[in-house]
Amino acid sequence: MTRSPGLLCLSYFLIAAAAITVVSCSDADYYDQDLQDHEWDVLIFTQQWPVTACFHWIEENHKHSCSLPNKKEFWTIHGIWPTKYGTVGPSFCNKSAEFDMKQIEPIEDALKEFWPSVEADFAIQHLWEHEWLKHGTCAASLVELDNERRYFEQGLNWRDKYLVSNMLGAAGIHPDSSNTVIALQNALKKTLEKNPSIHCVYDHETQTSYLAEIRICFNKTLGLIDCDGVPGSHIAIDYPGGKVITNCHISKPVQYPSVVPPIPPKSWKFPFVNLYKLLNFVMWFTL
């Protein structure tokens, strides 16, 4: 098989881009800055793949445990995050706001199903409280989202309309597959007609990217728009025929697992390396 110079060049570019991604791939929460300025430009609506979310949660601390949906191929909501171009946040826009469970009681069953907490170590309300106080209080500058009920209902409506499993499924992409990020992008764009942002969790041990989240963006009149220019760990990569906004490894397929992948045994490796160094040192010292 021969490759055209253009393709070769593209591959080098993608490898370089992937290298940048590795450096910037840390999954820290990018919304923690307490901006004085509560202005924002876009709403990022994030659906998560619970299997990968669980992997990430346990990988972070092996004592963590997850609660996964019983249904197969079931994407859940992570949040609606107001975001300013070129920066992150804002967050916690109303210091006097308190989370009031009563306001969302009428939709509690739906939230339990579609906006659950994968992180079983917290009470279910913990995620909702966090999302409302951190992001909802900023989104509340829009009249359509100016109370808990409206904010969470908007999430349920958007999930209904833009369900990731439907969009991927329409392109024949189901769990237990691996797909290039460009294939994922093309599948999603067929429905959305706008650029989403595709988020991976990266396992350094096996150098594998797992599909974690699909984020889509809305403007202040709640119209779907391209996620271009949205900050965080994502970079926009041009490829022939389009642009993909992602933190996933570009040069390798992205895994879409149906069960939680094996958790890398990080607590094992460290003493082993130390022991090896110690042995080396002792040998150098004594021989």
Active site residue 131: yes
Q: For ligand NAG, which is the closer residue by CB, 27 or 41? A: 41
Minimum distance from residue 246 beta carbon to ligand NAG (Å): 22
Minimum distance from residue 95 beta carbon to ligand NAG (Å): 8
Place of tokens 């271009």: 228
Minimum distance from residue 83 beta carbon to ligand NAG (Å): 15
Pairing of strands 254-256, 242-246: unpaired
Minimum distance from residue 191 beta carbon to ligand NAG (Å): 14
What is the distance between the alpha carbons of residues 173 and 167, in angstroms, rounded to a whole number?
Answer: 9
Catalytic residue among 56, 135, 199, 234: 135
From 211, 215, 232, select the one nearest 224 (Cα to Cα): 215
Catalytic residue among 56, 78, 234, 249: 78
**Beta-carbon count within 10 A of 283 CB:** 9
Q: Phi, psi at residue 213, to the nearest 5°?
A: -145, 150
Active site residue 78: yes
Decide: 60 and 119 in contact? Cβ < 8 Å. Answer: no
Decide: 54 and 260 in contact? Cβ < 8 Å. Answer: yes
Catalytic residue among 131, 148, 153, 213: 131
From 66, 72, 73, 54, select the one nearest 122 (Cα to Cα): 66
Q: For ligand NAG, which is the closer residue by CB, 61 or 96? A: 96
Q: For ligand NAG, which is the closer residue by CB, 77 or 93? A: 93
Q: For ligand NAG, which is the closer residue by CB, 101 or 278? A: 101
From 129, 130, 42, 127, select the one nearest 81 (Cα to Cα): 42
Q: With b meaning 16 or more CB within 10 Å and e meaning fewer, what string describes 38-61?
A: bebbbbbbbbbbbbbbbbbbbbee
Minimum distance from residue 166 beta carbon to ligand NAG (Å): 19
Q: With b meaning 16 or more CB within 10 Å and e meaning fewer, what string describes 218-234?
A: beeeeebbbbeebebbb
Q: For ligand NAG, which is the closer residue by CB, 88 or 224? A: 224
Looking at beta carbons, which residue is closest to ligand NAG? 223
Q: For ligand NAG, which is the closer residue by CB, 64 or 194? A: 194
Q: Write out the residues near ligand NAG by the rule CB under 6 A.
A: 94, 96-97, 140, 219-221, 223-225
Minimum distance from residue 219 beta carbon to ligand NAG (Å): 4
Active site residue 38: no
3-state secondary structure of 256: strand
- Catalytic residue positions? 78, 131, 135
